[in-house]
Structure 1
């Protein structure tokens, strides 16, 4: 699995072959095929394992601190250009190859589960509203990440994680008493 993840980051998904993985890992192709039905399943299993090791689930006892720590690690991908290229390639492949879509979505689900667990703990501790829509809240965290990663209209900056999480947690509404002044429509 290490060989698959390394080749993915070095050459992109299209550059990954079972032969290359076998050569680098020293495993026989038959052994690889015995454990995985397809290149897509092997690559996404390998990346699930790799990313989970790189980004373990924080549990500080504070939903805010956990989200800031997780988001800073998430945004840190910009300091690893090969990872950025691999992630962009994986997203593109998932849009173009129906056989790749399912393993990719399964990988995405593992990352979403981490954030949902953080938010769920925060809800259980009373830090977040009890009727929180976890799925939507997870989207609020990952949406800007993927959008900036793929479109590149603004940078991902780990130093911005705290501000981004505070904005999510506080919502977009101005605090009472600090509403914007009325404008003349006239």
Structure 2
């Protein structure tokens, strides 16, 4: 029996789902342990080697609980992304849009190219692309991150550096998209200069009004 789709008796497996545990207390501790175990397992073994049995053994949470609350490995991957999106992302505030975007892209570059830290987010994103539940969680993760980071562009609008109505989330997408393209699409090397160039290009486009309403 595959632990990706448990089939007790003749019942059909439920689709992967992301749990909604109560904040605080034992439920939060269980979720934290399961998320940590999922991240460790997917980093070590990848999506194809990720199993509910291994996450149960590493987290100390019974396999039946994992199936009941997460539905299988796809639900575990999805919730690991959801938990990551909930973490606070400290944003730069240098007083200059270009410098703020450079710091954001440098951070993305630093995280994904770090010999010790980079393997976990890389493995998690790669695993998320392998299932509908994971892909949906990945979209939600990036949407949340872009919306949070939009503050750097919104502050630039307030300073008069950008046109009114500039879509801050789109500015951040434009700055970071070239990095993820290299990391997960083409596999081309990513260096610090490429990260800075992506930030500079997004800043120039934003100042030119490409992310502001056109009035059409």
How many Å apart are 1:21 and its aligned residue?
0.9
Gap regions ≥5 residues in structure 1: 174-186
TM-score, scaled to structure 2? 0.63
Deviations 1:41-86 (A, max 9, x none): 3223223434765x82314253333322221111120234524751
Which has more helix, going by share of residues?
Answer: 1
Q: Which residue of 2 aligns with 1:89?
A: 126
Q: Which residue of 1 aligns with 2:195?
A: 161
Two-structure CA RMSD over aligned residues (Å): 3.1
Q: Which residue of 1 aligns with 2:114?
A: 79
Query: How many equivalent residue pairs?
Result: 169
Counterpart pick for 1:32 among 66, 77, 82 = 66
Contact kept, 8 Å, 2:109 with 2:191, in 1: the verdict is: yes
Q: Which residue of 2 aligns with 1:58?
A: 91
Counterpart pick for 1:14 among 39, 48, 56 = 48
TM-score, scaled to structure 1? 0.71
Contact kept, 8 Å, 1:44 with 1:107, in 2: the verdict is: no
Change (3 A) 1:19 1:124: farther
How many Å apart are 1:91 and its aligned residue?
5.7
Gap regions ≥5 residues in structure 2: 1-34, 208-216
How many Å apart are 1:153 and its aligned residue?
5.9
Q: Which residue of 2 aligns with 1:116?
A: 150
Considering Cα pairs closer than 8 Å and 6+ residues apart, tell me whether 1 or 2 has the greater RCO.
1
Counterpart pick for 1:141 among 175, 190, 207 = 175
Change (3 A) 1:49 1:98: closer
Change (3 A) 1:91 1:32: closer
Deviations 1:118-163 (A, max 9, x none): 3233323433221313343233123201211123464212354334
Deviates more, 1:6-15 or 1:37-46: 37-46
